Structure 1
């Protein structure tokens, strides 16, 4: 068969746009190709291949190739372009702001997709739809729902947004409870009671009944408690005005707070006197944690303790203020480390918690739900979005490096686009070249797994610079000098040491020149510099100025110092004596031992005490009958005894006030004075009150010496200032005396100190009454002050044989049994 070398004829196919998102490309179809050949037989059409996809924005395109072959194997290719949408990235948008409805019992707002205003998608305009509301969650008076919206793009990629809506719900009336009865001994005006409401807190009662009462009787007040949210409760309170009753306060208004209340002591008015009485309590006024606490207040009404209760209700109903959390974006992977916090009025700063993962290693969109718990029953949450994107590593293009001098080649680095870690290159090549030349280093970068990329870098070492010509400072020194070789700065060696054939040590005064050569040993030309050296004769040493030294008790001199004029060494002067304790003026001779010979200098020292002793603070002395004054002691700034003296007497036995003038003299003759007050007092007279005595009994004679109070010495003299004639020595006869109270004085002198006792003796005919059974006598007053007199209540003859049982009742000033 004759086969001409002419290809068959065929045209490229029309492009295909696949509808929908993420739909597969259609399978190859050879029937779509229309081909002809100049020979009679129809050419053969075959599928060759699909090219690698090319992605541009949201579009993915491939090129499909078919071959057309005739019977003589002449062949031609035709192509077809196929395109489809391949969008897998969700749209973006910002969740609508949370809503808090402050007013009570208001309806929830309707869902509104218009609240989302910044929805966007890289492949078109997304659609916002309302999904639904969660079941309400109630905490205290706050009710919260979570409203959900979806943002959907053309390829059904979904972004979910949530919005918290909180409103206040109150359907419970205030809890009034049972109101206490009020009992008052006099007229009063009743203070409105309070009730506790779950949402409104403390609610004060109102009434149309009278609240002021002046006449004795029993009254009723009907109280109404309204929380302002349409909920009402009532309570009845009884008021009794009873002149015989104790003052009654009743329960004080309750205090309600969410946390940390400040408690102020309550003040009530004495209903009878009109004076204000401030309450006191031993209960704690600090409260932590929700709950109801009780304070018992005490009010002192003219010596009577009246108590009142006051409730403190701690109820934290306000949840934390939720933060607005930004979207977090990671490339490849990442861990959320910024833990959000919320602010709470009672608990302070609250750190969020979550059960969601905080580490993300795969690309995608994630939500973290953060929960904030104030430990008082208020728990709120907020959602944070985390987006993880993917990115492949790329090998770096490394620049060529040119150095003048050998140095360590620093390994280059690249940043892993997924982990964010810095990847440092490694190599088996030499990175510490020591000679000039050109080197090629192959660096490897290991991104983990099978991602190991390489890059080459060219490094050239070529020193082309001579050392810098140094400017050498002129040297000058007295006595002698030895010169140290100077250095020059070279680009490869910072310390190129100079060389010279001239001497380096000079000890004869004069001016010399040293010629220095500097060579970097890298083949570059040497540079030269000269240095002038001067040796001078030594100067006279410079001595410090020695100031005169003074002190009150002693002076210790510090040795002065000076520099040696040739060696510049520090020379410390010496002296035969450096410490002086004797009052007066002295001169120190200082000697400096310089290398050029000894040099002397002089310094004046003066010891002069000008501070007198410090007098002590003398306490006033006081004593009954007589006193001997002890000698006080003073202190002094210098050592040595301080002498205490006075020309005044030191012993006094006559009652009166005296002054002792003390003089204090130190070892250097300086003095100071101080007065001291001394008082001699007479002892106070003792009082002895006897029981009432009968005045119609001739045998009733008291021996007063047997009735002396404890501690009173015996052997004194009794006297009757009224001259009743009833006193004979220590015997006092009451027969025939008038009904009255009589005073008898008793005086006794001990060691020159006189002490007196005053007897008070009541005499009356009533004391002579004879009781039917025993001589029962109840004393109507006691003074329990611990002085040994009338400290206990006594009922005379209560233990008489004719009395088989007894009891006692005590009443207060209002006639009420206590």
Structure 2
């Protein structure tokens, strides 16, 4: 600049003098102290100012961005220019550091959980939020073994981690104890209880089993029965399956058969035997493999014969008009009751049932020769019809069963006929048709003579004396 100075002394003397003025700003703006700008997520930078001795307050300029939303350390170079050719550069530090962890916003699973090995839950879907933005949630399962001799028991350490991507995270851990406490179960449908006949006992069903966790299943089977030979009662069969998995979980399944002891009746014709041939073992008429511990009964026949267990003795039967040679004999019916374990008889399944054998047997006297000879005839030597029940009648004995007809004539000692019969029945007691003879219609005491002719016997007539004592 040029300043023209005028000097006037007041007297009219004036001079002009030029003065050169040089104004030159050589002092840079004041260097400001810029703070380090920090934030969790984002920094928006305000333009700083400083003071200049000439220009006053001046604002800085920069070519760097003013907004920072990435994590990290940044610098801004600020230029302060006073417009007089004096300028300074000042560095400002920007620090964005997310130190705040995310937060779960959903309900968290329980810290511990115990489940069956076939009921392990899927991880729950959790949500979280973060102060700076999006959150990534991950789930990780770590398996830890349990030393309890069960391959299906272990612990799952399940961890959910919410990560904000800026180095901050939060996690939640759930310990899932996995156990195998369930025993195998059948996959085969079967009846647990059945009412059956002893003739129709079903086959043992082939049961298949499955387990919730184990593929290795141990299976055992037993069958028990209350059946007893020679006990004629319904009985029960119990079939038992015992199954066990790898973790020793055991279950028992049963099928109970209520067995009705049905009765099978079989007819056996044993033919005929002579009563005099000795004792008969009735077991000999039964099938060779039959249970011989049963019971024999005699249902029909002459009770003179005896039955002791399986031994039948007909030798006690006495010959009579109802039991003679060649008269057809006596029909006996025996009943043998037993139980049997054989599979079948005559094509019928009888195992475990009541078996009845009705044995028909004819006992005759065909092996006996009746005593019908001359020497077999016995004639009364005396009769005493006095009411004492001894020797009351004139009798012809010894050949009663031979079926002959007796013609009898009685004579007194003078040869007079006192009694005659063409079909004598051993019923004459010295009675007389003439009231004049003897007393009370009886012949008088004395010796009389008889002539006996046995018709169609081939025997010679019998003659001899008989004494009659009527007093």
TM-score of the superposition, structure 2-length normalised? 0.29
Higher relative contact order (Cα pairs below 8 Å, separated by 6+ residues): 2
TM-score of the superposition, structure 1-length normalised? 0.18
